[in-house]
């Protein structure tokens, strides 16, 4: 009876092993692409989802490609199948399936774009895991342990500090460039600040001739004046100009460079996080929300902002504020503020107007007429990424 069962299980075991090898091989290839040491897979050019997924902050886990973790899981599952260890097989099969669910969720709900090659790899790995579970016929314990391991990984993956600047400029210093997968990037402040235009809060078209960058605090009256000027100019010249908005609070709670500021800035850190959180969760709502924040002559209160988000836009303010990418963006923006080329720390002020190839325009005097030539320094050369 046992011999019969063993014989009938051989084809399934063989198929599962072959699928594990295929999934591991594809995972290793995708990991090299995510690491930047190999070219992107065929068909991952401009507008293709795989390019966005493989170069996104979610493609790594504390610096290493997450695809390599999947390779380890597939290899471990294959070894357990060869060794005929049902409990180990059940554990690794469960982690594989749990990992597939997590990464499909990220693509569907967070990145909102799918990587075809990743989905093929997920499908191969899932089929291998399902066949392995059928062979193992496990008890509940190894499956529960596998689920616990998956939840732990997902939690660590979600909470890890996320590097926002995933593009590399093709030259040192300032540049307006394109990456191999078609994404537009800006390198500013002598290369200290590198921005992915598609992953940053943008007013206007990402294909505009000139993209400017502003560092602003929503409670800053001079920032409000510059913002209104930029919006008017962008609406008059939609094909020529767009601008990125980098909320940069000047309150010491989140900006250690500041000591004492007027009371109107007391809520700046929270409001900046809420704005960035809305951008990362509901980017289609963000431009109008940004305009709403700057609309009145006096700053919006934190209570007004939370009420507007919750009851007008249907967003959860607490979830927006806690969004890991919002916090990473805030750290980046404050870092850019710290990198401003000033001789006296007292000259480090808002608003800041940045354009590739032009010295930063810093402080209340910031106006568009301080940038006489609104044209890119370089005609979007490709990044060597």
Instruction: Reply yes or no on domain 175-370 having CATH 3.10.20.600.
Output: no
| Beta strands 193-196 and 202-203, pairing class | unpaired
Q: What is the pLDDT of residues 82-112, one digit of tens each?
A: 999 999 999 999 999 999 999 999 888 877 7
Selection from 216, 171, 210, 217 nearest residue 194 by Cα: 171
Q: What is the pLDDT of residues 246-276, one digit of tens each?
A: 999 999 999 988 988 899 999 999 999 999 9
pLDDT confidence bin for 63, thresholds 50/70/90:
low
Average model confidence (pLDDT) for the chain? Answer: 84
At 274, phi and psi to the nearest 5?
-65, -40
Selection from 244, 208, 231, 265 nearest residue 332 by Cα: 244
Of 1 and 238, which is predicted with more confidence?
Answer: 238
Q: Look-up: residue for tokens 């404050």?
A: 334
**Whole-angstrom distance, CA of residue 152 vs CA of residue 287:** 35
* 3-class secondary structure per residue, the chain: CHHHHHHHHHHHHHHHHHHHHHHHHHHHHHHHHHHCCCCCCCCCCCCCHHHHHHCCHHHEECCEEHHHHHHHHHHHHHHHHHHCCHHHHHHHHHHHHHHHHHHHHHHHHHHCCCCHHHHHHHHHHHHHHHHHHHHHCCCHHHHHHHHHHHHHHHHHHHHCCCCCCCCCCCCCCCEEEECCCCCEEEEECCCCEEEEHHHCCEECCCCCCEEEEEEECCCCHHHHHHHHHHHHHHHHCCCCEEEEEEECCCCCCCCCCCCCCCHHHCCHHHHHHHHHHHHHHCCCCHHHHHHHHHCCCCCCCHHHHHHHHHHHCCCCHHHHHCCHHHHHHHHHHHHHHHCCCCCCHHHCCCCEEEECCEEEEECCCCCHHHCCCCCCCCCCCECCC
The tokens of 204 are what? Answer: 């206007």
Of 239 and 364, which is predicted with more confidence?
Answer: 239
Selection from 107, 123, 129 nearest residue 59 by Cα: 107
pLDDT confidence bin for 373, thresholds 50/70/90:
low
Q: What average pLDDT does the segment 64-89 reach? A: 90
Lowest mean pLDDT among 96-100, 201-205, 361-365: 361-365
**Whole-angstrom distance, CA of residue 54 vs CA of residue 44:** 9
Q: What is the pLDDT of residues 23-55, one digit of tens each?
A: 999 988 888 776 654 455 665 544 456 666 776
The tokens of 32 are what? Answer: 């090299």
Task: Give the chain's largest Cα–Cα span.
Answer: 87
Q: What average pLDDT does the segment 70-90 reach? A: 92
**Whole-angstrom distance, CA of residue 88 vs CA of residue 323:** 35
* Per-residue pLDDT, 112: 74
User: Does residue 167 surpass a pLDDT of 80?
Assistant: no
Q: How far is CA 238 from the centre of its chain?
A: 26
Query: 296: which residues sit within 8 A by CB, 6+ positions away?
Result: none
CATH code reported for the domain at 2-159 = 1.20.1440.130
Query: 257: which residues sit within 8 A by CB, 6+ positions away?
Result: 334, 337, 338, 345, 348
Q: Are 256 and 337 in contact (CB under 8 A)?
A: no
**Whole-angstrom distance, CA of residue 242 vs CA of residue 234:** 6
Q: Radius of gyration over alpha carbons of the chain, in Å?
A: 25
User: Does residue 166 surpass a pLDDT of 80?
Assistant: no
User: Does residue 226 surpass a pLDDT of 60?
Assistant: yes
pLDDT confidence bin for 286, thresholds 50/70/90:
very high
Q: Are 209 and 237 in contact (CB under 8 A)?
A: no
Selection from 193, 201, 194, 207 nearest residue 166 by Cα: 194
* Per-residue pLDDT, 378: 44
The residue extents of the domains of the chain are 2-159, 175-370
């Amino acid at each position: 009876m046992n011999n019969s069962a063993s014989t009938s299980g051989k084809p399934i075991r063989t198929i599962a092993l072959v699928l594990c090898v295929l999934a591991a091989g594809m995972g290793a290839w995708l990991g090299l692409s995510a690491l930047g040491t190999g070219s992107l897979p065929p068909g991952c050019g401009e507008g293709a989802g795989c390019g966005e997924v493989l170069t996104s902050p979610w493609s790594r886990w504390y610096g290493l490609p997450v695809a390599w973790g999947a390779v380890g899981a597939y290899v471990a599952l294959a070894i357990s199948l060869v060794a005929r260890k049902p409990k180990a097989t059940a554990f690794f099969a469960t982690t594989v399936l749990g990992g597939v669910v997590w990464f499909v969720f990220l693509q569907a709900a967070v990145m909102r774009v799918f990587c075809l090659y990743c989905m093929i790899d997920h499908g191969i790995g899932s089929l291998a895991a399902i066949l392995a579970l059928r062979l193992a016929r496990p008890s509940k314990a190894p499956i529960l342990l596998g689920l616990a391991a998956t939840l732990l990984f997902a939690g660590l993956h979600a909470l890890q500090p996320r590097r926002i600047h995933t593009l590399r400029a093709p030259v040192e210093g300032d540049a307006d460039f394109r990456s191999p997968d078609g994404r537009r990037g800006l390198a500013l402040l002598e290369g200290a600040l590198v921005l992915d235009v598609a992953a940053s809060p943008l007013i206007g078209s990402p294909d505009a001739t000139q993209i400017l960058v502003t560092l602003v605090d929503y409670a800053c009256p001079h920032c409000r004046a510059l913002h209104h000027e930029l919006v008017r100019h962008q609406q008059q010249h939609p094909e020529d100009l767009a601008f990125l908005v980098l909320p940069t609070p000047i309150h010491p709670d989140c900006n250690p460079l500041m000591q004492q500021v007027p009371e109107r800035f007391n809520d700046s850190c929270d409001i900046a996080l809420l704005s960035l959180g809305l951008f990362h969760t509901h980017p289609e709502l963000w431009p109008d929300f940004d305009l709403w924040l700057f609309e009145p002559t006096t700053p919006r209160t934190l209570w007004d902002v939370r009420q507007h988000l919750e009851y007008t836009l249907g967003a959860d303010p607490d979830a927006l504020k806690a969004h890991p990418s919002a916090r990473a963006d805030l750290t980046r923006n404050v870092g850019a503020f710290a990198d401003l080329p000033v001789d006296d720390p007292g000259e480090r002020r808002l608003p800041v107007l940045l354009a590739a190839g032009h010295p930063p325009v810093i402080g209340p005097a910031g106006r568009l007429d301080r940038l006489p030539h609104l044209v890119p320094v370089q005609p979007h050369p490709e990044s060597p990424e």
